[in-house]
Amino acid sequence: MQGRQKSSTPEHKGDLAAHGGVLSMSHNDTRSFFNFSQLGLSTGNAKSSPVLKHSKITYFEVEILDVHSKKQICIVDKVSPSSTLLDVKHKFHKACPQWYPSRVGLQLERNGPYLKDSINIQSLAVSSIITLYFTDLGQQVSWTTFFLIEYTGPLLIYLLFYIRLSTIYDQLESKKNFRHPVVHLACFCHCLHYIRHLLETLFVHKFSGGHTPLKNMIKGCAFYWGFTSWIAYYINHPRYTPPSFGHRQVSFAALAFLTCEAGNHFINVALAHQNHSGNKACFPSPTYNPFTWLFLLVSCPNYTYEVGSWISFTVMTQTLPVGIFAFLMVIQMSLWAQKKHKQYLKRFYPEVRRKAAMIPVIF
């Protein structure tokens, strides 16, 4: 009996050892599961780290180089994808105060076109670093200032010749010779033309913050002011001779002039209304106003009316300077109309393909 009991003791201890072994293994498994869970969590954190990196590269760096020397001028950092090129120009101005945003020209390539201010910076990005080339466009003026100065000059200059200043004409000859009614009518029509331009610049045309080089304004003023002086000198001269066909020629030409001025105004109003309403998906269509029916024949009726005004003014006054000016205006307006017509063809091909650019019937 005792032997049996002694022999049974180690078996009992073995059983306890066996149970103890089982308990120790389950404890190790628990620790292993805990370690595996921790590894899984750490792996999850490791996977989430690229998300943080991705959030960091949502900002772009814009490297600005000199277009001639290719030297780096500055780096504009922390540019968000929603930023426009105008925002980049403002930040560039903060880094380089001597260059205002209006005189900064930026290009993707050295010989490429200048990028528009409204372009989204993300559309230019190939990587997180965007390289642009800088060109100093020189002193700039706003389009509103450009047109106000360009049109105010002819208005005032013509009036100086109309009152026949003593520094321009001989006073004895001016008092002696009678002024033909066409001289007064020409002054009224000329002033009406430029007053209309000034009022439309202020209240009809809307310029989206654009600028143009100062040298362009100087060229435009030299052209308009110079021709106005030449035209006004001949028409208001004491020895000016009236048109060959007299009253009929003057009346017909004056009526045509006023018709073209009214048509030009209503076309500009129609174009401005389309831009304000945001309806740029279709070609401008004529309205109930008869002056807008010219849209059925040409794509740029405002240029048609502008040319018609100067041709009518030439017939009304019958002077060589006005004829030369009208001829140059026909050339300039036709170039602008052809350029605009090509843009219309790309956007509104079915509606514009049968229209002329400026002069009806000439396709």
The answer as to whether 68 is a domain residue is: yes
Last residue of some domain: 197, 214, 241? 241
**322 shares its domain with 249:** yes
* Total count of domains within the chain: 3
Last residue of some domain: 197, 217, 241? 241
The residue among 258, 95, 227 whose CA lies nearest residue 153 is 227
Tell me the C-alpha distance between 227 and 112, whole Å: 36
Residue with tokens 């024949």: 297
**353 shares its domain with 301:** yes
**87 shares its domain with 155:** no
C-alpha separations of 219 from 103, 210, 223, 332 in Å: 18, 18, 6, 14
The answer as to whether 40 is a domain residue is: no
pTM of the predicted protein model = 0.78
**117 shares its domain with 199:** no
* Angle subtended at Cα 21 by Cα 19 and Cα 22, rounded to the nearest 5 degrees: 65
CATH of the domain at 100: 3.10.20.90
- For 298, the domain range is 243-362
Q: For residue 32, how many C-alpha atoms fall within 13 Å in the half-sphere facing its CB?
A: 6
Query: Across the beta sheet with 60-66, what order do the strands follow?
Result: 72-79, 60-66, 129-136, 104-107
pLDDT of the chain, 363 residues: tens digit per residue: 444 444 444 444 444 343 444 334 444 444 554 454 454 444 444 444 444 344 445 789 999 999 999 999 999 998 998 899 999 999 999 999 999 899 999 999 998 999 999 899 989 988 889 999 999 999 999 999 999 999 999 999 999 999 999 899 998 888 888 899 999 999 999 999 999 999 999 999 988 667 899 999 999 999 999 999 999 999 999 999 999 999 999 999 999 999 999 999 999 999 988 766 655 667 777 889 999 999 999 999 999 999 999 999 999 999 999 999 999 999 999 999 999 988 888 887 777 777 888 988 654
